[in-house]
Amino acid sequence: MFPLIDIHTHRPEPGTTCIRNIRLQGTFPAWPETDLFSAGIHPWDAAEAQEGWLETIPADHPRLLAIGETGLDLRDGYAPRDVQEKWLAKQTDLANRLRKPLVVHNVHATEALQTFLKRRAAVPVLLHGFTGSPETAGQWLRQLPGVRFSFGPAVLRSPKTQKALQWIAMAKPKALFLETDDAPDVDLREMYNFAAAQTGLDTDRLADLIRQNFNALFPNIPLR
């Protein structure tokens, strides 16, 4: 059995193939030597973000797989929408230039993000922590046919998100991923076992599907 894939995590788990997300916040960490990673300015940090932060991302690092997470979070308490959109645009342009997928955070901003990404993104978009309904997933696919959906710990407790997982597994299985995000008490294998039960797939079959999806999204980092 090959290692399970965690497409987006802040807590790399030994024995898995994961993409560790690095959130730029002004104090820059040493870039990973062994982990695959993504890097970007989170919408939550948009108010404090400074010109030059994105320039610290090592564009030629062989383990940099994606840009982000970026996106929009339109709840009260975060940066104004125009400030978030500024950093979303900068990171989308960076992803386009580097030809790297874009990891997107979306809270209460589905239509705004669809309009923006349809116009601006020239690379694959990964919706991390997707919590929408099957109808919302279908709307995304109509607007961005190549979009990918990553289901995180919320799927363990949300019937709506479980229905979306089931729908994606049937209607667009090549767009399906799983993640642990920043949950401290969620085991990746638990995620796979739960998703397999929800979709009617054997856990090994689901793991193989996600591995194939990973190879399609990141053809320069093939996993066997």
List, as residue ranges, the binding site: 69, 105, 128, 181
CA distance 4 to 115: 33
- Residue of 37, 28, 33 whose CA lies nearest to 7: 37
Give CA 115 to chain center in angstroms. 19
Q: Which residues contact 8 (CB under 8 A, 6 or more apart)?
A: 19, 21, 38, 69, 103, 126, 128, 129, 150, 152, 177, 179, 180, 181
Residue 43 CB contacts under 8 Å (≥ 6 apart), including other chains? 70, 71, 72, 73, 78, 79, 84, 87, 88, 105
Residues of each annotated binding site for a divalent metal cation: 69, 105, 128, 181
Residue 222: CB atoms within 10 Å: 9
**Structure-token pair, residue 25:** 């916040």
